[in-house]
Structure 1
Amino acid sequence: MTDDHALKERIAEELGAVRDRSLGLTTDVLDDAALTAQVSPLMSPLVWDLAHVGNYEELWLLRAAAGADALRPEIDGLYDAFEHPRAERPSLPLLPPREARAYIETVRARVLDTLDRARFDTPDPLTAGGFVYGMVVQHEHQHDETMLATHQLRAEGAALLEDGVPAAPGAPAPADEVLIPAGPFTMGVSDDPWAYDNERPGHIVDLPAYYLDVEPVSNAAYQAFIDDGGYDDPRWWDPRGWEWRHSSGKRAPAFWTREDGAWTRRRFGRVEPVPADEPVQHVCWYEADAYARWAGRRLPTEAEWEKAAAWDPESARSRRYPWGDAYEEGRANLGQRALRPSRAGAYAEGASAYGVRRMVGDVWEWTSSDFHGYPGFRTFPYKEYSEVFFGPEYKVLRGGSWATHPVAVRTTFRNWDYPIRRQIFTGFRTARDAR
């Protein structure tokens, strides 16, 4: 089997897997009323996401890569994420669920027909190494994670009934934190064919020594911050965070409620006690920053996060995943294996070369860094993926969550969001300077 044929087989398999996942979050589990409803102005109706992934696939795999004529040019504007903000999408003449599903099925059938004729050994960076196919697969997985956030915001009963089986807790970590020695490492990538523009180019960053939490901050640890009056003490809060705290009235992570002296949470329509030994999730950057200050620590920079996750000091190179270059089941809580983070001590086999655990999967981790391009950054293939978001308004998140698919995350992958966002599956770990 040639490398080209093997890559085409992998692409076809990944396209099929991500579509099964998309349908499992939409038309397979919800009726038309639920698919067309908007549960929050922060989120699109699920039927918009469903047709959007098909329209994106048509734009890039049929029109751009294969040179095909447009199937439904009249709907391009409806599904342009920059033309219509989420709050106004319910008022658009969107394709109804049955028509949306028929449209994406037609697109997919034509994509698979053109895949047979595709060439990946060309100088065109769009098709070289199958980049544009990888971009489309990752894009749909990212929308699947957004769909999961929409499901979490739904007030109705659970639609996702298969809760999955999270890994059992393993042996506790030998220490709460680990020293990451001073020295240079290569941040970002230059040779991963499916990496995005904001991960490029690889460049040397020289860091002083620092300590980093071995595990993400737990619900129990975060509850101690709440119980100590952390939400009422301005000493711990960034001034903008203190303003957010008062204007929003928030006093706990999203979906938490205190009942009879105990904390419960709502998770996909279920109400349950907050598990003490899971990573805290659904906290915004301001909350994570305030906790870190209260604990006498700080959030890591994204360079500190990446070095601890990716760098192998023995081989002097970065790993695609903390444990190595190939994804291996059982080393991380990724891909919707369970609809929740794992418990403390789990996935010890997925530790990085420095012994830091669960850096990929479980919860997206806030860093202290603003989102900017790396030195030598070049937009590819369109500025709306990364470049238009560069600036101090967005904070960088790393590592993926339990809802992130392994294809759509790696140790160099960069996510970003406003520091007030809490509906996404976010947590954090803390760091401190080594003195």
Structure 2
Amino acid sequence: MTMPTTGVPTTATTADVEILRTRVAELLAAARRRSQLLTDIDDAELTAQHSPLMSPLVWDLAHVGSQEEIWLVRDVGGREPLRPDIDGLYDAFRHNRASRVHLPLLGPAEARAYVAEVRDKVLDVLAGHPLRGRPLVDHAFAFAMIVQHEQQHDETMLATHQLRRGPAVLDAPAPPPGRPLPREEVLVPAGPSTMGTSSEPWALDNERPAHVVDLPAFVIDTHPVTNGQYMEFVAAGGYRDPRWWSDVGWRHCVEEGLFAPRFWQQDGSGTWYRRRFGRVEPVPADEPAVHVSYHEAEAYAAWAGRRLPTEAEWEKAARYDPVSGRTRRFPWGDTDPTPGHANLGQRHLQPAPVGAYPAGASPLGVHQLIGDVWEWCASDWHPYPGFTAFPYEEYSEVFFGGDYKVLRGGSFATDTTVARATFRNWDHPIRRQIFSGFRTARDARPADLAA
């Protein structure tokens, strides 16, 4: 039988389980290689706090190991704790990011030794576990949860690298070249479509359950808003005109002195430059804009006579096939992402130019929905109808409500194990250190429907 890449069938044979074990081991190893790459720097850089918005990198490293020990060594494996004395130090809810540098954290050498010891125990647990028997372990869910947790922290650590000062310590090849797209926007027809999932074995609780959403017709950009387009907003005085901003957004813009996306600076000739992982370079006009907050995205959309898409609109544009009426796993179909589909996994250290991934387009012709930049949506962060917290409330449930806004699609820093078309991210609308961009939408007009 054909093995899915993200789970094991209910009627799994011994061979299926062995294939799954091998796959999980590979994903654990890939996540750890990335963590090691991001923490293979001078000890002083590893223990420094490069921004109060972020933890010291050494905290993230040991936190990854602590969570892996708690869930896979102790819970799934039923083994004796390795370091119960550090549980509190690496509890993300007990200590905010700004305070973590002052904790008695494990030093770099001790942290590396700890995560290596935990991994050895985990691989031993994986080798002998049947990977079924209760929801936490069915389809190797707990192992996949830990893989996704480490990869999410890797993206967070990459954001910390972007915030650090000093010479570049990371490198990656440039993304593929872009190409012109035939249209700037497309109509998404009215009607029902499925949102969320009840079948992805490694989907997290906030992605569940699948449910039908019936939307009116709308029009959406075929690509994220580019740096070149955003420069027009800046040049038009967008940061000096409160007409385009919400009241709270304008207040934040004034108080923080915002004038352009984070890491942009303009020289005397009017040329915009950006700092990217220790390098200063001209801002490329054809790449999606990145490091913009929700407030900035909302203001740009208003200036352009448009709006941000809702989360439901974004997902329909990404998954709906108007020919078959079916909802796909990804914009391009049901197969997992490959390097030809999307800019993911830190293969490149920047968004790719518009049109760089034609194989990743949706049936409606919407490009780069997965990877490149997280896309702000107009929706607040709420659970789906029928939501059930699993396996712990602190992953999603405690964050519902408040002022959080939804982001979708992943970025160039997001791993393929996380970058599902159903995956939901959220953050405060002021955040700019994350790899966030956006695309715009508008309500359909009679002329759109008649075309």
TM beyond 0.5:
yes
Give the match for residue 363 of structure 2. 353
Distance 1:92 1:116 in 2: 35
Amino acid at match of 1:112: L
Distance 1:350 1:364 in 2: 16
Amino acid at match of 1:372: H
Distance 1:24 1:319 in 2: 34
- Whether 1:330 aligns to 2:340 is yes
Cα offset, 1:328, TM superposition: 2.2
Secondary structure at the counterpart of residue 423 of structure 1: coil
Cα offset, 1:392, TM superposition: 3.8
Which of residues 21, 27, 33 in structure 1 aligns to 2:34? 21
Q: Deviations over 1:291-326 (max 9, x none)?
A: 000000000000000000012233433222211222
Give the match for residue 201 of structure 1. 209
Give the match for residue 395 of structure 2. 385
Which of residues 438, 441, 445 in structure 2 aligns to 1:431? 441
Q: Deviations over 1:7-65 (max 9, x none)?
A: 00000000001100000000x2x111000000110000000000000000001111111
Give the match for residue 3 of structure 2. none
Amino acid at match of 2:33: D
Which of residues 23, 46, 64 in structure 1 aligns to 2:75? 64
Give the match for residue 365 of structure 1. 375
Give the match for residue 228 of structure 1. 236
Cα offset, 1:356, TM superposition: 0.3
Distance 1:314 1:4 in 2: 36
Alignment size in residue pairs: 430
Amino acid at match of 2:255: S
Distance 1:168 1:294 in 2: 29
Q: Deviations over 1:316-372 (max 9, x none)?
A: 332222112222221100111110000122101100121100000000000000000
Give the match for residue 278 of structure 1. 287
- Whether 1:247 aligns to 2:252 is no
Which of residues 283, 287, 303 in structure 2 aligns to 1:294? 303
1:55-134 to 2 correspondences below 5 Å: 55-122=66-133, 124-134=134-144
Give the match for residue 310 of structure 1. 319
Unmatched tracts of structure 2, length 5 or more: 1-13, 446-451
Cα offset, 1:66, TM superposition: 1.2
- Whether 1:141 aligns to 2:141 is no
Distance 2:132 2:83 in 1: 30
1:45-56 to 2 correspondences below 5 Å: 45-56=56-67
Unmatched tracts of structure 1, length 5 or more: none
Q: Deviations over 1:391-435 (max 9, x none)?
A: 141000000000001111111000000000000000000000002
- Superposition CA RMSD, Å: 0.9
Distance 1:400 1:151 in 2: 18
Cα distance 1:392–1:208, how it changes in 2: closer, same or farther (>3 A)? Answer: farther
Secondary structure at the counterpart of residue 9 of structure 1: helix
Give the match for residue 188 of structure 2. 180
Quote the sequence identity (%): 62
Secondary structure at the counterpart of residue 125 of structure 2: helix
Distance 1:311 1:136 in 2: 30
Distance 1:276 1:313 in 2: 32
Amino acid at match of 1:14: L
Give the match for residue 158 of structure 1. 168
Secondary structure at the counterpart of residue 417 of structure 2: helix
TM-score, length of structure 1 as denominator length: 0.98
Distance 1:345 1:377 in 2: 36
TM-score, length of structure 2 as denominator length: 0.94
